[in-house]
């Protein structure tokens, strides 16, 4: 069985973008692949997080993994810090990464371009830790949204470099980016990715948004003045984004949705998108409220950490031996 690995960094509540671009795919793939998914909590603290809020977001994220349909019998689910090998291999990867490579990372460049000051060293070297997260498990595939593809490509470069320097050790992981829904855009500014760090909350739907709030956000999503329902991503990015959201969640082709709404108003289409999104949120949230009030979460991540560490320990031991860090 081929292996798949991925993670989410819950610096805030998980979003509909996380769900469509990543989480939903983890669930779809768990029957076909050996699935390893973790909560990237070390990645959360590259900037300051209020500790109680962080704890709540981590717990919510695990509950949401389960509520969305990840089955701990099939998938290994764990918290990154429960497997200390991540931090250790992360350091070794940082020693193998050139500054030029980190300077070319789009996420870093965007932050610099926005004039963000006070960027931490952890934020800068974060792609090295991400490479370690992946390579510890030698997965065949890494399912991610479009914005993480560059980090998986750097991981491949580092794997290749390590294999060349020290002999064959790592498998080349393939990024797996879905055709539909790999980049869900903000509802109030469709030129930007839907993200937890959106200013204000209007552009972002959270998986724990009350459905009424989510509906309001969709009904007031920014569209255009063209007034025709069609697929024109360049000139009607807001409309395209709404159709893409509905298509991903209903497993219908985007063209099929356009056909149904041809000649109708944007309001009618938005109502359909809101119906599809709210039905999905209600399904996820009813499971979430059962899980968050039970003791399932602790058990799932304790079991997951044991399974994950068995693999991670072996890889790290091999790496340390090859690099010459051990005297035996």
By CB under 6 A, name the one of 60, 133, 198, 244 that touches ligand TYM. 133
CB of 264 to ligand TYM, least distance (A): 26
Residues in 6-35 at the binding interface with ligand TYM, rule: CB under 6 A: 6-9, 17-18, 20-22
Assess 76 for contact with ligand TYM (CB under 6 A).
no
By CB under 6 A, name the one of 40, 135, 248, 284 that touches ligand TYM. 40
By CB under 6 A, name the one of 77, 83, 94, 194 that touches ligand TYM. 194
Which amino acids are annotated catalytic? 111, 193, 196
Assess 204 for contact with ligand TYM (CB under 6 A).
no
Q: Nearer Cβ to ligand TYM, position 7 or 304?
A: 7
- Asked whether 176 and 153 are in contact (CB, 8 A), the reply is no
Assess 202 for contact with ligand TYM (CB under 6 A).
no
CB of 68 to ligand TYM, least distance (A): 12
Assess 224 for contact with ligand TYM (CB under 6 A).
no
CB of 86 to ligand TYM, least distance (A): 9
Q: Which stretch binds ligand TYM (CB under 6 A): 48-56, 179-187, 207-215, 236-244?
A: 179-187
Can you give the binding site for ligand TYM, defined by CB under 6 A? 6-9, 17-18, 20-22, 40, 43, 130, 133-134, 142, 144-145, 147-148, 182-184, 193-195
């Amino acid at each position: 069985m081929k292996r798949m690995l991925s993670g989410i960094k819950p610096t805030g509540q998980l979003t509909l973008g996380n769900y469509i671009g990543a989480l939903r795919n983890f669930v779809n793939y768990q029957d076909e692949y050996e699935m390893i998914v973790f909560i990237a909590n070390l990645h959360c603290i590259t900037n300051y997080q209020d500790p109680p809020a962080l704890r709540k977001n981590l717990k919510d994220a695990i509950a949401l993994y389960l509520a969305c349909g990840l089955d701990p019998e099939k998938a290994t689910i764990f918290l990154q810090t429960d497997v200390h090998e991540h931090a250790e291999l992360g350091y070794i990867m940082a020693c193998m990464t050139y500054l030029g490579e980190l300077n070319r990372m789009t996420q870093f460049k965007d932050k610099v371009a926005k004039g963000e000051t006070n960027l931490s060293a952890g934020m800068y070297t974060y792609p090295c830790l991400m490479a370690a997260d992946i390579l510890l498990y030698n997965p065949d595939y890494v399912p991610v949204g479009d914005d993480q593809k560059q980090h998986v490509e750097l991981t491949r470069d580092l794997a290749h470099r390590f294999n060349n320097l020290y002999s064959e050790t790592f498998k080349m992981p393939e990024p797996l980016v879905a055709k539909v829904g790999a980049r869900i855009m903000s509802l109030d500014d469709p030129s930007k990715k839907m993200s937890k760090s959106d200013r204000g909350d209007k552009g972002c739907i959270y998986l724990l948004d009350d459905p009424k709030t989510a509906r309001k956000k969709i009904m007031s999503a920014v569209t255009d003045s063209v007034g025709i329902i069609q697929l024109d991503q360049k000139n009607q990015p807001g409309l395209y984004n709404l159709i893409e959201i509905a298509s991903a969640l209903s497993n219908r082709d985007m063209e099929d949705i356009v056909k149904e709404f041809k000649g109708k108003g944007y309001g009618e289409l938005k109502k359909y998108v809101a119906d599809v999104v709210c039905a999905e949120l209600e399904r996820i949230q009813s499971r979430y409220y059962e899980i968050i009030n039970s003791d399932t979460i602790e058990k799932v991540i304790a079991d997951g950490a044991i399974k994950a560490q068995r693999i991670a320990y072996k890889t790290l031991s091999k790496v340390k031996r090859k690099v010459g860090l051990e005297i035996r």
